[in-house]
Structures are given as C-alpha cells and as structure tokens.
C-alpha cells in the first residue's frame, strides 16, 4: 500500500535531537568505561582493568556516579547535532528517493543510500565532540595524565586542543494503545540489535580512534591500521577488542532509547514515519 505524503521539514531534525539526548543519558556511563578500557588495556603502562565491572567499580569508588558522566557535555552537544542531522537527513533523503510516495514495506534501495548519506555527513560533526569527550574521559580514576596537564572542563579541553592542534577534526505510529506498545517493542528490539551488530563489527577501529585521539605525543601515528597493528603486537586480538563488554552492554539500551525516542517524538510532532 502506498500513499502520497508531504515533507515535514524541520520536525525530523527536532525528533532526531531528542533521540540524541536520550542516547547520551542512557549510554554515556558505558562509553566512559569503554574508553578507559581501551586506553588502559592497550597502551598505558598503569593499571590494567580485569573487565568492565572492575573499571566501573573503581570509578564509582573514587569519583562516584559523576565520574561515569565525565565528558558528557561534548557528548550531549555532539550527539544532539549528530542525531538531529542523521535522522533528519535520513528522512528527507528517503522521502526524496521515494518520490513523494510513502510505502508500507521496507525498501532497501531507498533505506541504504539514505542512511549512508546521513552517516557520512554527521561524521564531520561527531569527530570534534568525540575528541574532546575521549580526552576528558581518560582523566580522573587511575589516570596517568598529570593534573597540571589536565583539563578543567570540556570547554577548556576544546580551547587547548584548538590552540595546540588546530581544529579538532582528527515505529510506525499506531491507532491504539496496543499497536503503540507493539511499535515500541519493535523499536527497542531493532535499535538494540542494530547497535550490537554495528559495534561488534567496528570496535577495533573505535579502539584505534580512542588511542589516536588521546595520544599525548603529537608525532603518534594517525593511521588507524598502523595503530591497530601496534595494539595487536602488544596486546593481541583481545587488545583490539578492548571495551567490548561495556560497548555491547551500551549498544542495546542506548540505541533502543534512540529509536524509541525518535518514534515517540515523530508521533508527538504529527509525522508519519515509514
């Protein structure tokens, strides 16, 4: 079944912004643990965490819950813009490729290029905020970064990074309560499984990204494959997948929260989403 529909303009971007905020609220503590595992269990000659729970326990013991949200400010800013652009561009591109016709069935030939374009564009927004976030997250518990060389805030980190390195660029709505619950369940399941599949595939490159972005030496290689090879030589395959536990644990609730929030926001804004 197909029907004509109109572009809803800015509303998709607003819905995406809410999805981004929900992702950070749910997922940032997991992300903090992931970054510390990636840094400490690959290149830093300090404490090595046994697993994600060990790392979490140490953070809570020394910094409390606040420590798990270190670097959350750039995450909120970055993810808000990222999700806004990602969901907005995805929706607008999909509508354009469908030629104004709304289909009741998934169309891979429309969905794949729409998602790819959105992902390519948001990488330019995400990279600077990720850099600041990671540099903030490796401070605090068990950090080998001298306090005199640390950052007092995310803004301080961003300004010092720019000064020293230049620009930081290294459910379908239902008509009843029952169908709404079904849509929400589908959103949670699809978002969660999608997140798990994604992170299971790209985690080694994410490990390399963390190491590159937090390297104190400016001469450190920025080639992710060279970095991965170095990690493999020193820590083996396990090092290339450092942070896998908290990443998978984060993927389901964080991505599910993003999809469900997106669907609810679209419904509240009166937008049909197919």
Specify the length of the chain in residues.
274
DSSP state of 220: S
Residue 226 pLDDT: 92
pLDDT tens across 95-152, in order? 888 776 666 666 777 777 877 777 777 777 677 777 888 888 887 766 666 665 678 7
Token duo for residue 209: 């990204």
Check if the beta carbon of residue 247 is closer than 8 Å to that of residue 34. Answer: yes
Taking residues 219-238, report their average pLDDT.
Answer: 88
Q: How far apart are alpha carbons 234 and 231 in whole angstroms?
A: 5
Q: How confident is the model at residue 3 (pLDDT cuts 50, 70, 90)?
A: very low
pLDDT tens across 27-70, in order? 999 999 998 888 887 765 667 888 889 999 999 999 999 999 98
pLDDT tens across 197-206, in order? 888 888 999 9
pLDDT tens across 242-272, in order? 888 888 888 778 877 888 888 888 888 877 6
DSSP state of 151: -
Q: How confident is the model at residue 176 (pLDDT cuts 50, 70, 90)?
A: very low
Check if the beta carbon of residue 103 is closer than 8 Å to that of residue 59. Answer: no
Residue 174 pLDDT: 44
Residue 154 pLDDT: 82
Residue 172 pLDDT: 44
| Of the candidate ranges 162-171, 198-207, 212-221, the one whose mean pLDDT is the lowest | 162-171
Q: How confident is the model at residue 181 (pLDDT cuts 50, 70, 90)?
A: low
Q: How far apart are alpha carbons 30 and 107 in whole angstroms?
A: 33
Q: How far apart are alpha carbons 183 and 190 in whole angstroms?
A: 10
Residue 87 pLDDT: 84
Residue 94 pLDDT: 80
Q: Where do we find the tokens 């999805």?
A: 19
The whole-model pTM stands at 0.70
Q: How far apart are alpha carbons 100 and 9 in whole angstroms?
A: 14
């Amino acid at each position: 079944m197909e029907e004509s529909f109109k572009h809803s303009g800015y509303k998709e971007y607003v819905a995406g912004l809410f999805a981004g905020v929900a992702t950070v609220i749910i997922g940032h503590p997991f992300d903090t643990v992931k970054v510390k595992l990636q840094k400490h269990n690959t290149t830093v000659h300090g404490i090595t965490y046994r697993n994600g729970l060990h790392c979490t326990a140490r953070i809570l013991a020394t910094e409390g819950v606040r420590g798990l949200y270190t670097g959350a400010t750039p995450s909120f800013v970055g993810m808000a813009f990222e999700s806004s652009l990602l969901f907005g561009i995805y929706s607008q591109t999909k509508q354009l490729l469908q030629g104004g016709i709304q289909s009741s069935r998934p169309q891979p030939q429309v969905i794949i290029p729409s998602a790819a374009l959105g992902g390519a564009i948001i990488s330019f927004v995400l990279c600077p905020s990720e850099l600041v976030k990671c540099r903030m997250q490796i401070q605090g518990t068990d950090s080998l970064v001298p306090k005199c060389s640390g950052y007092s805030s995310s803004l301080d980190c961003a300004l010092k990074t720019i000064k020293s390195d230049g620009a930081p660029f290294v459910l379908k709505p239902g008509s009843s309560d029952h169908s709404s619950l079904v849509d929400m369940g589908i959103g949670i399941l699809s978002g969660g499984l999608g997140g798990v599949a994604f992170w299971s595939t790209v985690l080694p490159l994410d490990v390399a990204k963390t190491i590159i972005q937090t390297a104190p030496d400016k001469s450190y290689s920025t080639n992710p494959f060279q970095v991965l090879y170095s990690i493999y030589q020193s820590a083996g395959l396990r090092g290339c997948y450092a942070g896998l536990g908290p990443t998978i644990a984060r993927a389901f609730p964080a991505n599910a929260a993003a999809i469900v929030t997106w669907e609810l926001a679209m419904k509240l804004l009166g937008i049909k989403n197919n």
